[in-house]
Amino acid sequence: MEASPLKKLEQLEFSLDSVTDLSSSPSASPSSPAVATFSCVDGVTELRFLQSDSTHCFTFDLASAQLFKLGTVQFICVSDDNSEERSFSKGVNIKFGSEKDSKEFCDSFEEWRKDALVPGSSTVSASNSKFDEKIEASSAKMYFHYYGQLLHQQNMLQDYVRTGTYYAAVMENRSDFAGRVVVDVGAGSGILSMFAAQAGAKHVYAVEASEMAEYARKLIAGNPLFADRITVIKGKVEDIELPEKADILISEPMGTLLVNERMLESYVIARDRFMSPNGKMFPTVGRIHMAPFSDEFLFIEMANKAFFWQQQNYYGVDLTPLFGSAHQGYFSQPVVDAFDPRLLVAPPTFHTIDFTQMKEEDFYEIDIPLKFTSSVCTRVHGLACWFDVLFDGSTVQRWLTTAPGAPTTHWYQIRCVLAQPIYVMAGQEITGRLHLVAHSAQSYTIDLTLSAKMWGPGASQGGILQSSTGKFDLKEPYYRMSQPQAYPAAQEPPLPPQPQLNPQDIQIQSDDFEEELLQEPAQNASTQL
């Protein structure tokens, strides 16, 4: 068996240009040349920094030490005190004479620290991670694999409503970012970190748990105007440590229905761990909007899916015993698509989630009472939902919305279709409940109830005329994602002349344009009919 590196080499030294104690002012602790030494004494792996003109030595236990890159030759080395608060007991700013020396030191640091983190160590390990305690391993693996791929990052970057709104929210509020420390929670490609750096941030810590962290490092390194002010840290916000508090938290933690993927919990955990008391969060507030809808086409489409299981002679096999289960399964899928806002049968209501105040545990169960007044006489097929978020900057307040009728985003909207529609009259009250319960697959189980109260003579005595319920798994939606269907009404005004598109627009919109061309004959035919 090959011997451990620590047994092969008991000590390793590196020359440094300077070492400065972070706990004292620069004048009280002037920088001077020093020597960094890795050593293993009585089974304890240590890193020591000894200044050449002083007898003082900074000693770090590698089992609890962390290294943060500030530039190509400058780093911060910190060590926590192993208390419940996981605060830092000491730290030093170190500087090398060349990039080659700094790289060799970093490689050695990782190797020696790897050997220090042996099983049974008192250091907090990944197995004790708060994230791992509440999220099942298989879900987390698929989640980080998905976001570790460039094609999915491109999908989000090409959502110009999303990316453009973030850029505007940051650049219009430069005063919030200039000279400030920023933490980018779930940095992905690092695009928001670079926005913050463009706005004048003093330093940005880009925290990313997936393999996308390596791509982010490469992208940031290729933009030298920002590279020295952005540090990419690979890890979960629940586990990593930072050398300083943040003035600003920026993140894109929103999922379908705002809360899907449960990243909002990590967002508020980062707030509690890293943000200074008077810090700001971008985004600041989220709202879930809800309204009952009527869509006969969608309802029939959902119901028809299960008809396959009504065949009594499918190659000699009777499939009907599974029809009920199939029907229930299809109606347990929330529908993700873009729909025409004229399908809504009542003015929407909303539920507010303040990211600056919410506790992590508040996301485990969300209960929303529903109350609407129908605007039309129709059949209600379910509940439509979308969300928006507010960037509450000191200079400009900007909203990012996913509402129907607004420019479509990669979130689209979501609709919970009830297997049993309810009938309502204009002016009739619709009540109900939307109940979300988080589960370990990084999503939610949705329980929806819609009821129509008695209408007309005798309504003052109350009573429920009809009620319908449904259970949905937000983790398993039906990605319909069609563009809003045009109404076949002939009295619609003619479309205005279309502006000429440049080549970039044609390339971006080609998929939607082809879909419109394919749908156009059918729409014309229905109008004539």
Helix (H, G, I), strand (E, B) or coil at 512: helix
**Cα gap 511→506, rounded to integer Å:** 9
The CATH number of the domain where 40 resides is what? 2.30.29.30
- For residues 482 and 29, the model is more confident at 482
377 inside domain = yes
112 inside domain = yes
Of 235, 243, 200, 201, which is closest to residue 216 (Cα–Cα)?
235
How many CB atoms lie under 10 A from the CB of residue 82?
14
Q: Are residues 159 and 211 in the same domain?
A: yes
136 inside domain = no
pLDDT band of residue 513 (cuts 50, 70, 90) is very low
Of 363, 360, 384, which is closest to residue 372 (Cα–Cα)?
384
The average pLDDT across 79-102 equals: 70
Q: Are residues 465 and 385 in the same domain?
A: yes
Question: What's the confidence (pLDDT) of residue 41?
Answer: 64
Question: What's the confidence (pLDDT) of residue 89?
Answer: 58
Would you say 219 and 190 are in contact if contact means Cβ atoms under 8 Å apart?
Answer: yes
The CATH number of the domain where 234 resides is what? 3.40.50.150
Task: Please determine, for residue 528, whether its predicted confidence score (pLDDT) is greater than 80.
Answer: no
CA 32 to chain CA centroid, nearest Å: 43
Q: Are residues 390 and 463 in the same domain?
A: yes
The average pLDDT across 363-385 equals: 97
Question: What's the confidence (pLDDT) of residue 72?
Answer: 79
Question: What's the confidence (pLDDT) of residue 460?
Answer: 60
**Could you say which of 438, 454, 479 is where a domain stops?**
479
Q: Are residues 44 and 108 in the same domain?
A: yes
Task: Please determine, for residue 489, whether its predicted confidence score (pLDDT) is greater than 70.
Answer: no
Question: What's the confidence (pLDDT) of residue 87?
Answer: 47
529 inside domain = no
Helices (H), 9-128: 99-116
Q: Are residues 53 and 153 in the same domain?
A: no
Q: Are residues 242 and 291 in the same domain?
A: no
Q: Are residues 99 and 224 in the same domain?
A: no
Could you tell me what percent of the chain has a pLDDT over 90?
Answer: 62
495 inside domain = no
Would you say 368 and 290 are in contact if contact means Cβ atoms under 8 Å apart?
Answer: yes
Residue 375 belongs to what domain range? 287-479
- Strands ordered across the beta sheet of 181-185: 230-234, 203-208, 181-185, 246-251, 275-282
The pLDDT tens digits for 163-207 are 999 999 999 999 999 999 999 999 999 999 999 999 999 999 999
The pLDDT tens digits for 428-451 are 999 999 999 999 999 999 999 999
The pLDDT tens digits for 58-90 are 888 888 888 887 777 888 888 765 444 444 557
Task: Please determine, for residue 49, whether its predicted confidence score (pLDDT) is greater than 90.
Answer: no
Would you say 194 and 222 are in contact if contact means Cβ atoms under 8 Å apart?
Answer: no
Task: Please determine, for residue 1, whether its predicted confidence score (pLDDT) is greater than 50.
Answer: no
* Average pLDDT score, the chain: 84
The pLDDT tens digits for 264-312 are 999 999 999 999 999 999 999 999 999 999 999 999 999 999 999 999 9
1 inside domain = no
Could you tell me what percent of the chain has a pLDDT over 70?
Answer: 80
Q: Are residues 356 and 428 in the same domain?
A: yes
Q: Are residues 315 and 434 in the same domain?
A: yes
Question: What's the confidence (pLDDT) of residue 29?
Answer: 54
Q: Report phi then psi at 506, rounded to 5.
A: -60, -40
282 inside domain = no
Question: What's the confidence (pLDDT) of residue 12?
Answer: 76
How many CB atoms lie under 10 A from the CB of residue 446?
22
Question: What's the confidence (pLDDT) of residue 43?
Answer: 67
The average pLDDT across 97-104 equals: 86
| Range of weakest confidence among 191-195, 494-498, 506-510 | 506-510
Question: What's the confidence (pLDDT) of residue 166?
Answer: 98
Tally the C-alpha atoms within 13 A of residue 3's C-alpha that lie toward its C-beta: 6
Would you say 470 and 419 are in contact if contact means Cβ atoms under 8 Å apart?
Answer: yes
Supply 480's token pair. Answer: 């319909």
Tell whether pTM > 0.85: no
Rounded (5°) CA angle 220-223-228: 70
User: So which residues are the catalytic ones?
Assistant: 252, 261
C-alpha torsion 101→103→109→112, nearest 10? -90
Helix (H, G, I), strand (E, B) or coil at 337: strand
- For residues 34 and 497, the model is more confident at 34
**Cα gap 97→83, rounded to integer Å:** 35
Question: What's the confidence (pLDDT) of residue 69?
Answer: 77
Q: Are residues 239 and 297 in the same domain?
A: no
The pLDDT tens digits for 113-122 are 877 654 433 3
Task: Please determine, for residue 500, whether its predicted confidence score (pLDDT) is greater than 50.
Answer: no
**What is the number of domains present in the chain?**
3
Helix (H, G, I), strand (E, B) or coil at 389: strand
Q: Are residues 453 and 334 in the same domain?
A: yes
Question: What's the confidence (pLDDT) of residue 17?
Answer: 87
Burial class (CB in 10 A: 0-12, 13-18, 19+), 35: middle
Cβ neighbours for 79, distance < 8 A, ≥ 6 positions apart = 60, 61, 64, 65, 66, 88, 89, 90, 91
Q: Are residues 95 and 42 in the same domain?
A: yes
322 inside domain = yes
